[in-house]
Amino acid sequence: MPDNVDDSTVVIDGETLGNTQYMAYVIQETVGADIFRIEPETPYPTDHDELVDLASEEQSNNARPAIKDTIENFDTYENIFVGYPNWWGDMPMILYSFFDEYDFSGKTIIPFNTHGGSGFSGTISTIKELEPNAEVLDGKSISRNDIQDAEQEIVDWVNSLDLKQAEEQPDSSAEAQQPTMGRFLYLCRFGYE
Ligand SMILES: Cc1cc2nc3c(=O)[nH]c(=O)nc-3n(C[C@H](O)[C@H](O)[C@H](O)COP(=O)(O)O)c2cc1C
């Protein structure tokens, strides 16, 4: 087990963000994405030690924690950023729930994560196995030690993907139901409220 499970956080305009949440925030600012936060129905503990224990237990049990909310118009998104912290050399188990729940066939998944030294571990291969009909990009992994100064690095990475800007769409229009270059930003982050 790694000894690097302490978390750090980023403060923006007085608000404390988790590391992965900060990455998501910079991506969202850069591409103008919609954002959905992956949260469990039963909130994760805010106490760090309790969270570490629960994460370990969920992993041992191969758990599939229920996700609190549902994504509307999932079919209309083509390029989807999926972000998560490294937990015990893997994705948090709720990400497995997430990939079970949504079919990414024909879509492009752009993973991003933060970590304490392990990078993505084997999670990119795992996502490819879970979503065999999606294109899974190499993604971007940033250490929590560097996250505070990583804004430009994240912006440069996003711009290097050369994604087209999503067009504005009225929510209820017929066009809003059509697949677009729209991109959806997913975020797994907890424990800092
Ligand atoms: C339960 C738990 C397990 C972790 N396991 C690892 C690990 O195996 N490898 C690693 O590099 N970092 C590990 N970390 C550190 C987190 O990946 C890192 O602090 C991350 O930036 C936290 O992101 P967040 O602020 O969005 O929660 C772990 C953190 C937690 C809470």
Provide the β-strand partners of residue 18: 9
Domain limits of the chain? 17-162+179-188
CA angle 36, 6, 25 (to 5 degrees): 25
Distance 166 CA to ligand 1 centre (A): 32
Distance 82 CA to ligand 1 centre (A): 16
Distances 64 to 23, 58, 99, 115 between C-alpha atoms, Å:
25, 8, 10, 22
Distance 193 CA to ligand 1 centre (A): 17
**Closest approach atom of ligand 1 to CA 88:** 8
Among 98, 140, 147, 137, which Cα is nearest to 119's? 140
Q: What is the model's pLDDT at position 191?
A: 38
Distance 130 CA to ligand 1 centre (A): 22
Test site for ligand 1: of 4, 8, 95, 186, most ligand atoms within 8 A of the Cβ: 4
**Closest approach atom of ligand 1 to CA 189:** 26
Distance 5 CA to ligand 1 centre (A): 5
User: How many angstroms separate the CA atoms of 94 and 62, rounded?
Assistant: 10
E-only strand ranges, 2-134: 9-12, 15-18, 34-38, 79-85, 108-115
**Closest approach atom of ligand 1 to CA 90:** 8
Per-residue burial over 72-102, b = 16 or more CB atoms within 10 Å of its CB, e = otherwise:
eeeebbbbbbbbbbbbbebbbbbbbbbbeeb
Q: What is the model's pLDDT at position 178?
A: 47
User: How many angstroms separate the CA atoms of 140 and 148, rounded?
Assistant: 15
pTM, two decimals, is: 0.87
Among 165, 175, 141, 153, which Cα is nearest to 79's? 165
Domain range 17-162+179-188, CATH architecture: 3-Layer(aba) Sandwich (3.40)
pLDDT in tens, 115-155: 999 999 999 999 999 999 999 999 999 999 999 999 999 99
Pairing of strands 79-85, 108-115: parallel
Low-confidence residues of the chain: pLDDT under 50: 1-5, 166, 168, 174-180, 189-193
User: CB within 8 A of 65, min separation 6: which ones?
Assistant: 40, 41, 42, 58, 93, 94, 97
Residues with CB under 6 A from ligand 1: 2, 4-5, 7, 18-21, 51-52, 55, 85-89, 114-118, 144, 189
If you ran DSSP here, which 8-state letter would residue 165 be given? Answer: P
Distance 121 CA to ligand 1 centre (A): 11
Enter the tokens of residue 5. 């499970």
